[in-house]
Amino acid sequence: MQVIRLEALSDNYIFLLHDYKQNIAAVVDPAEAEPVLKKLAELKAELVAIFNTHHHNDHVGGNKELIKQFPQVIVYGGVEDRGRIPGQQVFLQQSDRVQFADRIAEVIFVPGHTRAHIVYYFPAEKAGETGDLFCGDTLFSGGCGRLFEGTPTQMVDSLSKLRSLPDDTRVWCAHEYTLKNLQFALTVDSDNADLQKRFNEVKAYRSRGEATIPSLLGVEKRTNPFLRWDEPSLQLTVKSSDGVQTFTRIREMRNNF
């Protein structure tokens, strides 16, 4: 399974999964149809699945046109998003499985950004290889999504599920927010040497117009403050000894950054 990153809207990423053996494709969170259709035409591939993480239009905006062009495509989303995702046919819950080509993904229910958000986790096939996490707007490179429909407690629980995955998991999040996220992270975790190094690397990438996605989950665990709510130095910064409260205060600070 090859993952092809497509740019969309102002800062979105769409992920096209391509099975070159069968020449079929699936797409994760098609914000718009045009870049997907262009790449499919280039590959001469058939679209067989749309994997949506949540209902926001910058993740499902291309669904209707893609269904029109590929009437047999199957549209997946969370069960709690029933009626909110265009064309949804499959309603997924925690621990369900979905298959594309020869890979099987675990569905993880991660309310917080929305009440219905799910992610798709494809474990590594062999030792030494990377897994793939398509996490929508729950976990960002260096950050996490805003809480529109969920609570801080839900979001911490959701991020805990993702934090438990292997370090060598590639994190395919849906927006290019990394540089600003790390700029903020340095305001609450300034003594973190790994974070300082990462910020300089990302600044160089962005100065060259290069994408910062995917990141690696192991890097996120060391540098992303929204996965470090139980880190004593961060708790000291926000004057809290409680994990959820620490997360909440960091999220509020990021909202106003």
Please tell me whether residue 235 adopts helix, strand or coil conformation.
Answer: helix
DSSP 34: H
Range of the domain at 107: 2-255
| Amino acid of residue 94 | Q
| pLDDT attached to residue 223 | 98
Model confidence pLDDT, tens digit, residues 154-171: 999 999 999 999 999 999
Catalytic residue among 29, 81, 132, 137: 137
In percent, how much of the chain has pLDDT > 70? 100
Model confidence pLDDT, tens digit, residues 172-221: 999 999 999 999 999 999 999 999 999 999 999 999 999 999 999 999 99
User: Taking residues 1-19, what's their average pLDDT?
Assistant: 97
Check the annotation: does 54 bind a ligand: yes
Model confidence pLDDT, tens digit, residues 61-90: 999 999 999 999 999 999 999 999 999 999
User: Taking residues 41-59, what's their average pLDDT?
Assistant: 98
Confidence label for 3 from pLDDT (cuts 50, 70 and 90): very high
Check the annotation: does 58 bind a ligand: yes
| pLDDT attached to residue 57 | 97
Report residue 186 as tokens: 């340095």
Whether 117 is catalytic is: no
| pLDDT attached to residue 127 | 85
What separation in angstroms does the CA of 102 have from each of 111, 132, 165? 28, 14, 21
Confidence label for 242 from pLDDT (cuts 50, 70 and 90): very high
Q: Which residue has the higher pLDDT, 102 or 18?
A: 18
Whether 137 is catalytic is: yes
| pLDDT attached to residue 160 | 98
Catalytic residue among 117, 132, 175, 189: 175
Please give the Cα distance from 133 to 35 (Å, whole number).
Answer: 21
pLDDT of 56 > 90? The answer is: yes
Catalytic residue among 18, 29, 55, 113: 113
Q: Which residue has the higher pLDDT, 40 or 129?
A: 40
Check the annotation: does 175 bind a ligand: yes
This prediction has a pTM of 0.97
Catalytic residue among 18, 29, 55, 56: 56
Could you give the number of structural domains in the chain?
A: 1
Whether 191 is catalytic is: no
| pLDDT attached to residue 128 | 85
Question: In the predicted model, what is the mean pLDDT of the chain?
Answer: 97
**CATH of residue 111:** 3.60.15.10
Count Cβ neighbours within 10 Å for each residue of 28-47 and write b for 16 or more, e otherwise.
bbbbbbebbbebbeebebeb
Give φ, ψ of 224 to 5 degrees.
-90, 115
Whether 59 is catalytic is: yes
DSSP E strand boundaries for the chain = 2-8, 12-19, 24-28, 46-51, 74-78, 90-92, 97-100, 103-109, 118-122, 131-136, 139-140, 143-144, 169-173, 215-216
Model confidence pLDDT, tens digit, residues 124-146: 988 889 999 999 999 999 999 99
